[in-house]
Structure 1
Amino acid sequence: MSAPHSPRLDRLDALRGLWMLWMAGFHFAFDLAHYRLIEANFYTDPLWTTQRTAILSGFLFWAGLTQGLVSSPRFWRRWAQIAGAALLVTAGSALMFPRSWISFGVLHAFALLLPLARFGLARLSSTLLLVLAGLCVALPMVVQHPWFDSRWTYWLGLVTHKPVTEDFVPLLPWAAPLILGLVAARFERTRRFLAGPVPFGHRSGLFQCRALGRWPLSFYLLHQPLLLGLLHLYFAAAA
C-alpha cells in the first residue's frame, strides 16, 4: 500500500536541516585538513570516520522515513534530478581526481535506493524489513570476493578492500538505515511526533533549519563550491 500524499512535515524538515548543517561543518573541516590548515585524518581517525557514518546514516534514514510517510506525485522528477546530479558528480570528480573519481557515491546510492524503496521494499512486512536490514549489515562482513572489487561491481559492497575513490556508498550496508526509516514510518508514535510543530517557536534556529531541510539536493551540490570559494578568498587575502 502506498503512503497517502501529505503536506510537508516541519519536524522532519528541521531534523534534515540540522543534519545538513552537520554535513557542511564536516566537509569544511575536511577542506581545512586538505589545505593543511588543521591536522586531521578523515580516513582512519574514529572522530571523523564515526561522524561520516552517522551523517550518512541519518540522511538515508530520513529518506526512508519520507518514502514511508509521503507519496509525492513528483517522485520521478525528483529521482531524475538526483540521478542527473550523480552523473555530474562523476564527471566533475573525474576531472578533479582522475585516479580516484566517484563512480558510486552518496547520490548514486540515493538514485538506486529510492525507487527500490518506493516500489519494492515498501511492500514488505516490517518483520521482513528488519531481517533484511540486518542482512545488509551482516553480509559485507562475511561475504567478500575479489570479483566484487571491480569498479563495475563494487557498488554492491561485497568488496575485499575499500576502492580508491573520493566517495563510496555501496548498496550493502547502506541500504540498512533507509530500510529502518521505512519501518519507523509505520509507527503511529513516529507519525504523531513528526506532525507536531517545531519546538521553541518560529524564531528559533531549529525552525530556520526547517526551511533549509526542504532543499537537500541543492544544498548538497552548492555547499562545497561555496566553502571552497571562501577558502580561496582567504588565501587570496592572505597572499
Structure 2
Amino acid sequence: MNNRDHSLDLMRGVAILMMIAFHLIYDLNEFGFTDIPLTGYWLTTYWRYLIVFLFLSSVGISLVLAYGQQFNIVKFSKRMALLGLAALAVSLGTYLMFPNAWVYFGILHLIWASCLIAVPFVRVPNASLLIGVVILGLGYFNLPDLSFLRALLSNNLPNASVDFYPLFPWLSLVFIGIFLGHNPWHKKIITYRSTFTQYLGQHSLLIYLVHQVLLFGLVAAIYTLTNL
C-alpha cells in the first residue's frame, strides 16, 4: 500500500522548481546574461522566503509522518547521517569553489540541526506552533541569530557565505510544519496532481545537491561558447 503524502511531495516539488529558477537567474546574472535584482528587491526577497517556507515547513510535516506514531532511533539516525553527509558535501564543495564565501551553515545544516531540536515535539502540535510563533516573533527584536558555529569559529569563518540560514528565526518554520503535519491543511489546499513535480519532491535532496553544479556548468559553457 502506498502511504505517501502526495500533497507534500507536490509542495516540495514546487519548492524545487522555484529554487532551480532562482539559482538559474543567479547564474545568468553572474555571467552577465541578465541583470535581475535578487537582493534588495521586495519581490525576489519574498520569493526566496516562500521557497524557504515550503522547504522548512515540509521538514516539520515529514517529521510528523515519520515519527508521529512511533520514534525509530535507527531510522532517524540513518536519516540524520545521510543529511549530515550531504551538508558536509556542500561545505566541502563550496569551500573549494568559493573559499571566501563557503557554506558553513546553509539550508541543509539548518535542516539537520532543526530535526535534532524539533523531533521531540512531533506529538505536541499546539506546543510546536507556540514555539514556532515565539521564535518567529523574537526575530523582530533583532536578537542574535545564535549561530554557535560563528561564535566558536569566528576567526576561521568567512565574512560572507553563498548560503547562510541561522537557526533563528528559521527554526520556527520547522515547528510550524509540525503543527501543519497534525492539521494537514496542505492536503486541502494542494489538490492538484503533477507526476513530474511530485517526482521532484520525492528526490528533493539529490536534486538540491546536483542542480546548481549542473546549472552553473551549463551557463558557464554557454558563456564560453558565445565568447569564442
TM-score normalized with structure 1 length: 0.80
CA contact (8 A) 1:154 1:170 kept: no
- 1:148 positional shift: 5.5
| 32, 41, 45: which one aligns with 1:36 | 32
Flag the structure with higher helix content. 2
Letter in 2 for 1:138: G
Q: Quick one: which of 12, 22, 27 aligns to 1:26?
A: 22
Provide the C-alpha distance between the structure 1 equivalents of 2:114 and 2:128, rounded to a whole number of angstroms: 14
Matches within 5 A, 1:66-215: 66-71=62-67, 74-118=75-119, 120-126=120-126, 128-144=127-143, 151-153=149-151, 164-187=160-183, 190=185, 193=188, 199=192, 206-215=194-203
SS of residue paired to 1:185: helix
SS of 2:37's partner is coil
Unaligned runs of 5+ in 1: 1-5, 156-162, 201-205
SS in 2 for 1:223: helix
The unaligned stretches of length 5 or more in structure 2 are 154-158
The one-letter amino acid paired with 2:96 is L
> How far apart, CA to CA, are the structure 2 residues paired with 1:85 and 1:20?
17
Identity value in percent = 27
Task: Quote the offset at 1:237 in angstroms.
Answer: 2.6
Q: CA deviation at 1:185?
A: 1.4
Structure 2 residue 9 is the aligned partner of structure 1 residue 13: yes
Indicate if the aligned counterparts of 2:64 and 2:123 stay in contact, CA closer than 8 A: no
Whether the 8 Å CA contact 1:199–1:207 is kept in 2: the answer is: no
Counterpart for residue 217 of structure 1:
205
Whole-angstrom CA distance in 2 between matches of 1:70 and 1:154: 33
1:21-58 deviations in whole A, cap 9, x for unaligned? 11101110111111121112322122222111110111
The one-letter code of the counterpart of 1:51 is W
Q: CA deviation at 1:154?
A: 8.9
Paired with 2:208 and 2:117, the residues of 1 have a C-alpha distance of: 22
Task: Decide whether aligned partners of structure 1 residues 25 and 153 sit closer, same or farther in structure 2, where only a CA change above 3 A counts.
Answer: same
Distance apart, 1:149 and its partner CA:
7.7
* Stretch of structure 1 that moved more, 73-82 or 44-53: 73-82
